[in-house]
């Protein structure tokens, strides 16, 4: 082999990866960069996308409901879902679960059951610690962690995307290994280019032969006169100044980095503006505000449903469910919220105290009564007021209406006042029949006499001179 020839070796061996993510697993990586759950956060696009998903899901509060009686009723959250373990809050626990699920495509939660059927604690298990997942004859899953084997009664799992007859889901980290590694390789190259590169900012050129001392003297004089001063330059002796600019290849590299950001955003279905990417569609304030709900529907909703099903399986009662409340995440501006709450209060959908609770305000006495306001009528439903109440969630409305068949109106009686509502009157009027007899109009005949002149015969005589010119024209009437 020639001394100056050396084969490029960039592919990594499969025995140096401490995180069991080899250089060439199911998805190839030709970038020559080690892509693990730790090095991946050196990519700003991946870090922004993962933390955006984890933060967005973790900020939504959990709500618990029961449908055992046939009606949806809110129930208190179990203590384990307020403090899952002795080291984490529920926000930190959900954030860690989303982080593991979005990176590895699998999340494993250790949740041993107590006597009441609820989990005693909730702890996330690293996916690399789960050596084997198998299915027993009874249909339950077993998880091998170290030398211990746990059943699905103690460990619950959720996957990002899993094929049939597979026990583990696909990892987004592995599927995008080549793309992420390419972005890391570009970052390393640019860092070395600007940190260790020998490319000057500008060049002083001349056609004359210079000694080393003369070249050094010119360079020192130039730096002394122009370094951080931007003064006008006067060049003598055939000197020419030339700036060294970024090449077209370097500009294409920057454009390619933006395409990698778009690929990562496309993988997680995140709108490009949310991770501050460029090159996407132009956005304005109005359509970015509308994209907030789109982001929840088409990006977060799938992750939310996975965790809701996972947490609902941990509850002992099959009629009890867990839901994330996205109201805080999709919170509108104050004016929009007030108008929406006002409409719901006046239509009897919300009580005033429920609307105040959404704004973190204290309830007031009598605010649990439903209020019904119809245009053109008095507001009903205020306890102790002149009009009857329409009840609360806990107590049904008190019916004070009296209806009699022989009467045509409904009377609401209260000790203070009487409200009379007249029914709508309908009058049926038969359409009149009008007969019109046809009329005959006689028009007399009109006789028109026209006098015609009698026909006459005219004889015309023309006299000419010797040159043939007309001298005289004589018209004579000829009798019958």
pLDDT at 399 exceeding the cut of 60: no
Residues 407 and 272 in one domain: no
Under DSSP, the state recorded for 75 is E
Length of the chain, in residues: 480
**Using one digit for the tens of pLDDT, what is the confidence trace for 131-148?**
999 998 888 899 999 999
Nearest-angstrom CA–CA distance, 65 and 323: 8
What distances in angstroms separate CA 231 from CA 15, 41, 82, one per listed residue?
Answer: 58, 44, 66
Residues 316 and 350 in one domain: no
**pLDDT value at position 306?**
96
Out of 401, 418, 435, a domain closes at: 418
**Using one digit for the tens of pLDDT, what is the confidence trace for 3-13?**
344 444 444 44
Q: Write the burial class of residue 103 (CB in 10 Å: 0-12 exposed, 13-18 middle, 19+ buried).
A: buried
More confident residue, 365 or 438: 365
Of 157-161, 309-313, 427-431, the one with minimum mean pLDDT is: 427-431
Nearest-angstrom CA–CA distance, 126 and 21: 14
Q: Which domain holds residue 402?
A: 332-418
320 - beta bridge partners?
Answer: 66
pLDDT at 414 exceeding the cut of 60: no
Alpha helices in 296-386 (DSSP H): 301-313, 334-346, 352-358
**Using one digit for the tens of pLDDT, what is the confidence trace for 158-199?**
999 999 988 899 999 989 999 999 999 988 888 887 777 667
Residues 306 and 405 in one domain: no
- Residue 452 domain flag: no
- Residue 264 domain flag: yes
Nearest-angstrom CA–CA distance, 174 and 37: 10
Residues 132 and 165 in one domain: yes
Tokens 């600007």 -> residue: 194
Residues 155 and 287 in one domain: yes
- Residue 343 domain flag: yes
**Using one digit for the tens of pLDDT, what is the confidence trace for 208-220?**
888 889 888 888 8
Nearest-angstrom CA–CA distance, 403 and 36: 76
- Residue 107 domain flag: yes
269, 270, 272, 273 alpha-carbon torsion, rounded to 10°: 160
Residues 126 and 98 in one domain: yes
Residues 321 and 184 in one domain: yes
- Residue 460 domain flag: no
State the average pLDDT over residues 451-465. Answer: 74
Of 110-119, 303-312, 413-422, the one with minimum mean pLDDT is: 413-422
Query: In whole angstroms, what separates CA 362 from the centre of its chain?
Result: 33
Q: What angle do CA 99, 104, 109 make, to 5 degrees?
A: 65
Q: Write the burial class of residue 50 (CB in 10 Å: 0-12 exposed, 13-18 middle, 19+ buried).
A: buried
Residues 99 and 7 in one domain: yes
Of 40-54, 98-112, 316-330, 428-442, the one with minimum mean pLDDT is: 428-442
pLDDT at 327 exceeding the cut of 70: yes
What total number of domains does the chain contain?
2
pLDDT at 413 exceeding the cut of 60: no
Tell me what percent of the residues of the chain surpass a pLDDT of 90: 34
Residues 279 and 399 in one domain: no
Please tell me whether residue 93 adopts helix, strand or coil conformation. Answer: helix
Residues 116 and 126 in one domain: yes
Please tell me whether residue 206 adopts helix, strand or coil conformation. Answer: coil
Nearest-angstrom CA–CA distance, 52 and 288: 16
Out of 368, 400, 418, a domain closes at: 418
Tell me what percent of the residues of the chain surpass a pLDDT of 70: 73
- Residue 389 domain flag: yes
Predicted TM-score (pTM) of this structure: 0.64
Q: Report the chain's mean pLDDT, rounded to a whole number.
A: 79
- Residue 378 domain flag: yes
- Residue 26 domain flag: yes
Under DSSP, the state recorded for 154 is T
Residues 118 and 52 in one domain: yes
Residues 65 and 154 in one domain: yes
Q: Which two tokens stand for residue 181?
A: 């590694």
Out of 280, 297, 331, a domain closes at: 331
Nearest-angstrom CA–CA distance, 182 and 184: 5
């Amino acid at each position: 082999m020639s001394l100056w020839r050396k084969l490029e070796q960039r592919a990594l061996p499969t025995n140096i990866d401490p995180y069991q993510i080899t250089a060439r697993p199911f998805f190839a990586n030709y970038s020559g960069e080690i892509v693990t759950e730790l090095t991946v956060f050196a990519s700003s696009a991946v870090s922004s996308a993962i933390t955006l998903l984890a933060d967005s899901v973790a900020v939504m509060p959990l709500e618990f409901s029961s449908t055992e009686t046939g009606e949806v009723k809110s129930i208190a959250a179990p203590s384990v879902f307020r403090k899952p373990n002795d080291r984490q809050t529920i926000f930190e626990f959900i954030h860690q679960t989303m982080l593991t699920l979005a990176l590895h495509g699998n999340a494993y939660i250790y949740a041993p059951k107590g006597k009441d059927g609820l989990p005693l604690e909730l702890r996330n298990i690293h996916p690399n610690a789960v050596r084997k997942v198998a299915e027993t004859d009874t249909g339950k899953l077993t998880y091998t962690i170290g030398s211990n084997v746990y059943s699905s009664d103690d460990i619950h799992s959720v996957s990002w995307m899993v094929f049939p007859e597979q026990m583990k889901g696909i990892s987004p980290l592995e599927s995008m290994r080549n793309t992420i590694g390419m972005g890391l390789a570009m970052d390393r190259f640019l860092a070395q280019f600007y940190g260790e590169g020998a490319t000057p900012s500008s060049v002083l050129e001349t056609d004359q032969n210079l000694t080393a001392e003369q070249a050094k003297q010119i360079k020192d004089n130039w730096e002394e006169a122009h370094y951080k001063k931007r003064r006008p330059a006067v060049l003598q002796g055939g000197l020419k100044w030339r700036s060294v600019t970024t090449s077209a290849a370097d500009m294409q590299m920057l454009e390619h980095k933006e395409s990698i950001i778009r690929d990562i955003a496309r993988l997680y279905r995140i709108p490009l503006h949310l991770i501050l990417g460029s090159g996407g569609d132009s956005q304005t304030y109005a359509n970015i505000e509308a994209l907030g709900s789109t982001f929840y529907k088409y990006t977060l909703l799938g992750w939310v449903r996975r965790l809701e099903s996972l947490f609902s399986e941990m509850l002992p009662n099959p009629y009890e469910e867990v839901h994330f409340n996205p109201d805080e995440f999709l919170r509108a501006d104050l004016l929009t919220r007030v108008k929406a709450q006002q409409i719901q209060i006046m239509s009897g959908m919300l009580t005033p105290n429920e609307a105040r609770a959404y704004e973190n305000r204290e309830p007031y006495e009598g605010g649990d009564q439903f209020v019904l306001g119809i245009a053109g009528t008095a507001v009903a439903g205020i306890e102790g007021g002149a009009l009857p109440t329409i009840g609360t969630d806990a107590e049904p409305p008190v019916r004070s209406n009296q209806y009699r068949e022989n009467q045509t109106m409904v009377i609401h009686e209260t000790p203070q006042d009487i409200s009379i509502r007249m029914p709508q009157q309908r009058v049926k009027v038969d359409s009149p029949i009008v007969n019109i007899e046809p009329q005959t109009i006689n028009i007399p005949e009109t006789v028109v006499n026209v006098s015609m002149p009698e026909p006459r015969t005219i004889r015309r005589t023309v006299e000419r001179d010797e040159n043939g010119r007309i001298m005289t024209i004589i018209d004579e009437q000829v009798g019958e």
